[in-house]
Structure 1
Amino acid sequence: MNTESTFGSAFPFSNVSTASTASTVFAGLTALGWDADRDAEFAPYAERGLTVGRVSRVDRATCDVVTGAGVLRAAYGPGEPPCTGDWAVVDPAREPVAVHALLDRRTALTRSFASGASLGQVLAANVDTVLIVVPLDVEPNLGRVERLLTVAWDSGAQPVVVLTKADTVDDADEVRADVETAAPGADVVVVSAVTGEGVDVLSAIAGGGRTLALIGTSGAGKSTLANALTGADLATNETRQDGKGRHTTTWRELLPLPGGGVLVDTPGLRGIGLFDVNDGLELAFADVEALAEHCRFTDCGHDTEPGCAVQTAVETGELPYRRLESYRKLRREADWIASRTDYRLRAERSRQWKVIHKEMRRNPSPKK
């Protein structure tokens, strides 16, 4: 039942006795984010002699689960699949080991599938802080930053924009000020893995068993930043001459941090579609939403309506026109995804009613 894992040396596997006390079983999980609320949630499973662990990596039909006594390879069946960062209930005393249940996800970093399907793909679960990695060796795309911020805010986690490769430019502080205009409510940190600038700030965020997740495009410096935070030597590739990176991380994986806490490293995202992100849009564009409260009409589209406070702010220079256009674009995309989801649900309900009616015609109620 042993499996190779980043956590292998920290948690050499041994069977977990059903008589183990909670303090023994969970001693190694505190650094991974386990807390008293999880204790209470897990209690019914503990009474059945089951144990729990954090999902560190997911493959087809199996996943690695870090328990308080070691790392298990567990199978999972149909239904909601586990995701990196999930808390999974397992029984290590039975072969084959299988995932019995997943504890509630407090946060979920979700995107829509590239195919346009009206379903969401969970990239990471139970994340406290999302580090949006943006390289400084190319001019930051503020629209992409706003998109990633929308997804991060909607997950329920706290986003932080990390401007990497600060050692390659001379105007890092100026760029940071520009990015801050696109990131209200989020910290923007300038980092260089070469000089160490800003790494201590991110390390401090990770303390206390917190979970961090890295997202960004290929070549943004995610793997290099992960090396700096974990003290590990993860594979990295140089960025291509066109500024686009080559994929180095090919799966989502949970990595232990030296001071406690974990880091979820993700593959480079060529694109990230929005999925049910109304709350995320409101937070990512808090400045636009605040202005909209003063519009004459509650359903103002911020276009040609009279008394539009948002358009007035654009005209006076209070709100950049680029930011309003970005908001409109993301709103249209979010509304389109929502309409597809609603259509799928209506179609499923219609199919279910057809089955019921067909069954009723086949087996009519007896006449009284």
Structure 2
Amino acid sequence: MSIHQYGWSDEWNSYWDQWKQSFEERAGHSQLRPARLIADYGQKVKLITMDGERWGAASGKLRHIIDDPAEMPAVGDWVAISTPDGVSDAVIHAVLPRKSRISRQAAGFETKEQLIATNVDTLFLVNALNHDFNMRRLERYLIMAWNSGVNPVVVLSKSDLCDDVEARIAEAEGVAPGVPVIVISALQNEGREQLEAFLQPGCTVALTGSSGSGKSTIVNWLSGTEVQLTQDVREEDSRGRHTTTHRQLFPIAKQAVLLDTPGMRELNLWDDSTGVAHTFADITDIAQKCRFADCKHKGEAGCAVEEAVQTGRLSESRVNNYRKMQRELEYQARKEADRRRKDGRTSTTSGRRDQRSGWRRDVEW
């Protein structure tokens, strides 16, 4: 395999030449080479280099200076590596600036970002046309996509299991205005050409969706070979098991790259309000006509949003989900602010202790 099959282009090559010179002057490294992180297995990662695939790991210095896990090398990243010899693992010294980053709120009580993938151009939001069809979940995925700086595409999979496809298309278009909606059936080989239109040379396309939505099947279908394991879903509720256990890039025809991700039953948002504004643009536009600028759209006089619900311009379930997303993100923002205040106090205390002990934590680049 060649690095060019994983998205390396003249544009990246030109950028690399400029970045490498600046980085080497600051860091004192020489003979760095570009690579892309194509799979993450925990302690080690798989890289594609100019010479083919190679195992690698972050340098001790890189791990020391990065205190945010979301800034560590992730699948999709272009990185700078050195190869001490022809046998040892490659050493990752730096991550090149990312042009996009797909994130979510990490599971657990702590407010922190969990990075899913980077340098993605298009995100396929896969939703199966069976019992697991859920527009509220699709809205969450749209928020994640818009906030990540990628182009979303709604993919309605398993159309052979649906009796009223047109109605489902209308529902999807209703919550994703202006976003392409593609109906496919890998079993019947329908919709492939529409998907392949997004697989242009050098492009990276990621797939996300709940377990059992058919992401791994789509990867195999578009690749023309069984590169991913697949499992059947339970017939009674259409729920699937986590077939994909790690993130990995797969090169396909036309020199595009596909990224499969583990299924997410629950998607906790990591958002800066950009994604909400895009996803619920119809509601935010109408909200500008509310009598009060701080209207919560819950019983206030002169609320244009509630009026739109009463007249049928907006669905009540969509507005309720919009309110839920706002509450969730407001709660997340408060937790993040509390964490930053605590980190600030900890840093101040640590700094005083460092001064007393006569050493500093600064790392020279």
Under a length normalisation based on structure 1, what TM-score does the superposition of the two structures give? 0.86
Does 1:254 find its partner at 2:249?
A: yes
Alpha-carbon spacing, 1:166–1:359, altered in 2? closer, same or farther (3 Å): closer
1:52 aligns with 2:34: yes
Distance in 1 (CA, whole Å) between partners of 2:34 and 2:357 is 47
Q: Does 1:237 align with 2:228?
A: no
- Greater shift in the superposed pair: 48-57 or 318-327: 48-57
Partners of 1:110 and 1:129 lie apart in 2 by 14
Q: How does 1:56-95 map to 2 (within 5 A)?
A: 56-76=38-58, 77=60, 78=63, 79=66, 80-94=71-85, 95=88
Instruction: State yes or no: 1:265 paired with 2:260.
Output: yes
User: Which residue in the other structure is 1:150 paired with?
Assistant: 143
- Residue 197 of structure 1: how far off its partner (Å): 1.3
1:204-247 deviation per Cα after TM superposition (whole angstroms, max 9, x unaligned):
11113111111111111111111111112021111113311011
**2:187 — aligned with what?**
194
CA drift at 1:70: 0.8
Offset from partner CA, 1:169-211 (integer Å, 9 cap, x none): 2311221111111112311110010122111111111113111
CA separation of 1:35 and 1:272: change in aligned 2, threshold 3 A: farther
Match of residue 14 from structure 1: none
Partner residue, 1:113? 106
Name the CA distance, whole Å, in 2 between partners of 1:97 and 1:37.
20
* Cα distance, 1:240–1:277 mapped onto 2, change above 3 Å: farther
Q: Could you tell me which of 286, 299, 315 is aligned with 2:281?
A: 286
SS of 1:150's equivalent in the other structure is helix
- The alignment status of 1:36 with 2:11, answered yes or no, reads yes
1:84-128 alpha-carbon deviations (Å, 9 max, x no partner): 111011113444421010011111110111113211111110111
Report what 1:122 is aligned to.
115
- Any conservation in 1 of the 2:16–2:34 contact (CA below 8 Å)? no
1:53 Cα offset (Å): 1.4
Q: 1:55 to 1:163 in 2, by over 3 A?
A: same
State the Cα RMSD in Å.
2.0
Q: Which amino acid aligns with 1:261?
A: A
CA distance in 2, matches of 1:240, 1:115: 28
Q: Give 1:35 shift.
A: 4.3
In structure 1, how many angstroms separate the alpha carbons of the residues matched to 2:152 and 2:223? 19
Q: Which AA in structure 2 matches 1:60?
A: G
Task: Indicate the residue corresponding to 2:361 in structure 1.
Answer: none
Deviations 1:344-364 (A, max 9, x none): 11111112223445677899x
Shift of 1:261: 1.1
What's the % identity of the aligned pairs? 37
Question: Are the aligned partners of 1:33 and 1:211 in contact in 2 as well (CA < 8 Å)?
Answer: no
Q: What secondary structure does 1:289 align onto?
A: helix
C-alpha separation in 1, matches of 2:46 and 2:13: 20
> For residues 310 and 356 of structure 1, do their structure 2 counterparts lie closer, same or farther at Cα, with a shift above 3 Å needed?
same
Q: Counterpart amino acid of 2:137? A: R
Q: Secondary structure, in 3 states, of the residue corresponding to 1:339?
A: helix
Alpha-carbon distance in structure 2 between the residues aligned to 1:185 and 1:331: 22
Q: How many residues align?
A: 338
Asked if residue 324 in structure 1 is aligned to residue 319 in structure 2, the reply is yes
- Closer, same or farther: CA 355–49 of 1 in aligned 2, 3 Å: closer
Mapped partners of 1:30, 1:224: distance in 2: 21
Q: How does 1:169-180 map onto structure 2 within 5 Å?
A: 169-180=162-173
Does 1:159 find its partner at 2:187? Answer: no
Q: Is the 8 A contact 2:126 2:156 kept in 1?
A: yes
What is the Cα deviation at residue 42 of structure 1? 4.4
CA distance in 2: counterparts of 1:56 and 1:203, whole angstroms: 21
Deviates more, 1:296-305 or 1:256-265: 296-305
User: What do the CA deviations read for 1:55-98 (whole angstroms, capped 9, x no partner)?
Assistant: 10012232111122211211114233211111011113444421
**SS of equivalent residue, structure 2 residue 259:** strand
Cα distance, 1:167 vs structure 2 = 1.3
Give the helix-richer structure, 1 or 2: 2
Query: Does the CA contact (< 8 Å) of 1:120 and 1:275 recur in 2?
Result: yes
Q: Point out where structure 2 has 5 or more consecutive residues left out of the alignment.
A: 25-29, 359-365
After superposition, residues 303-314 of structure 1 pair within 5 angstroms as 303-314=298-309
Instruction: Give the distance between the partners of 1:320 and 1:157, measured in 2 at CA.
Output: 27
